[in-house]
Structure 1
């Protein structure tokens, strides 16, 4: 049985990834800082309360796995929504740590198991914020650009060992995290929540938000043998974003 590890797998995109991989017969391991969310995950999943910035805890989880075919380095945090001059160094470091260092640590400790097996797939969750500049989102956008650089380096470094690496860039995803972003952007820009929401939707050629299942389905594909020669790629699942800064 193939095995997948999903960081921040208790809810949202991570939970959808777990369900999608489980449907394909994978043994699912998830980590999350939200113990309540973990408790709501299916009983058959291996659930671990773990902060991805805690290297010792993450290493303990991964070293206890019987094998690892797919890593979904999915953990992230939205960070502050503010002008650059109003962002504190603590806010910057906190956002970059979760989004970038969390992906680095997961990949670092997953790699030895994959090298031993002679195969594996690493999937990092970036964002369309890693493809465009996003006003008022400096830490988040910077970190999401950086994880793409990390992914491309992993693809080159690990390819000779049969390990692939790719990045998924979700656009505006329906759910609790995006609602927080919408509220913050509305306050920062003096707009209503609905105006910001529709601005995001109008910024895509599909004129709609993404569902978590759209991201999960792409992760399953990238982890599968059908994508055996897909590596080093940045794949946006965003309805074709052209205007990442919603305006009326």
Structure 2
């Protein structure tokens, strides 16, 4: 293993860790030598099901709960890395959304990301440096109809990462964002059209149909995203901060 991609002895925080990209990141960092992982998700059973070799702290709760971060402060000592990943889907056109749905998505995807990142930054300032990656989305870069508050929140977290990078370079902390296109995760299950298609033609065929708009012709896997996030976290990306890396199979060409 290239020692610049070695996380031996390091502590990392991952939100949305019970499934999808977050779980793949947990497995990646575990394989890469991490000493300790702090995993947060609302899905307690999913967290418990993760088979990891390193020391783990598994916290069941929502990232948009300020009290959760107050309780977690003691666990964030010696933090080296953070993956700000928790999120929920949001669908519907802007003109037809009510405020409750807007706030539901913003609460987790934007407010929760803020609470996560700000807590992680304070902890890494105390440890003398580190790196963070925020999971944004290509829908925060390229306007996509019908995703309502989701795309707006993801545009917000991408810019939040840039601002945090500018503010924390003096603390030896790098902050980047990744903006995936389609990824085969459970987040699609909240979409009515997706579920109708799955019922009609199956999940695999539905994802393949959706990916037809992408030059690569398929959605990414969580493990593929985990490798890219791992690179951004690692010393191999030592000169990268304030960057939003698009990983979308060519969708935003």
**TM-score, normalized by the shorter chain, greater than 0.5:** yes
Q: Trace 1:134-153 onto structure 2 (pairs within 5 A).
A: 134-153=144-163
Distance 1:45 1:59, change over 3 A: same
Find out whether 1:31 has 2:24 as its counterpart.
no
Partner residue of 2:246? 236
Partner-residue secondary structure (3-state), 2:210? helix
Deviations 1:209-233 (A, max 9, x none): 1000011001111111111111111
Alignment match of 1:55 (pick from 63, 66, 79): 66
- RMSD of equivalent CA atoms: 2.1
Deviation, 1:186, is 7.3
Separation of aligned partners in 2, 1:33 and 1:186: 22
Find out whether 1:121 has 2:121 as its counterpart.
no
Partner residue of 1:100? 110
Aligned residues of 1:16 and 1:212 also touching (Cα < 8 A):
yes
Aligned residues of 2:76 and 2:123 also touching (Cα < 8 A):
no
Find out whether 1:4 has 2:12 as its counterpart.
yes
Separation of aligned partners in 2, 1:49 and 1:209: 29
Find out whether 1:40 has 2:49 as its counterpart.
yes
Partner-residue secondary structure (3-state), 1:17? helix
Deviation, 1:61, is 1.6
Aligned residues of 1:71 and 1:122 also touching (Cα < 8 A):
yes
Deviation, 1:120, is 1.0
Partner residue of 1:210? 220
Partner-residue secondary structure (3-state), 1:37? helix
Separation of aligned partners in 1, 2:70 and 2:32: 26
Farther-moved stretch of structure 1 (217-226 vs 42-51): 42-51
Partner residue of 1:65? 76
Deviation, 1:187, is 5.9
Separation of aligned partners in 1, 2:167 and 2:183: 31
Task: Tell me the matched-pair count.
Answer: 239
Partner residue of 1:22? 30
Deviation, 1:105, is 0.5
Partner residue of 1:86? 96
Flag structure 2 segments of 5+ consecutive residues without an equivalent: 1-8
TM-score when normalising by structure 2: 0.87
Aligned residues of 1:115 and 1:163 also touching (Cα < 8 A):
yes
Aligned residues of 2:82 and 2:132 also touching (Cα < 8 A):
yes
Flag structure 1 segments of 5+ consecutive residues without an equivalent: 244-248
Alignment match of 1:160 (pick from 170, 178, 182): 170
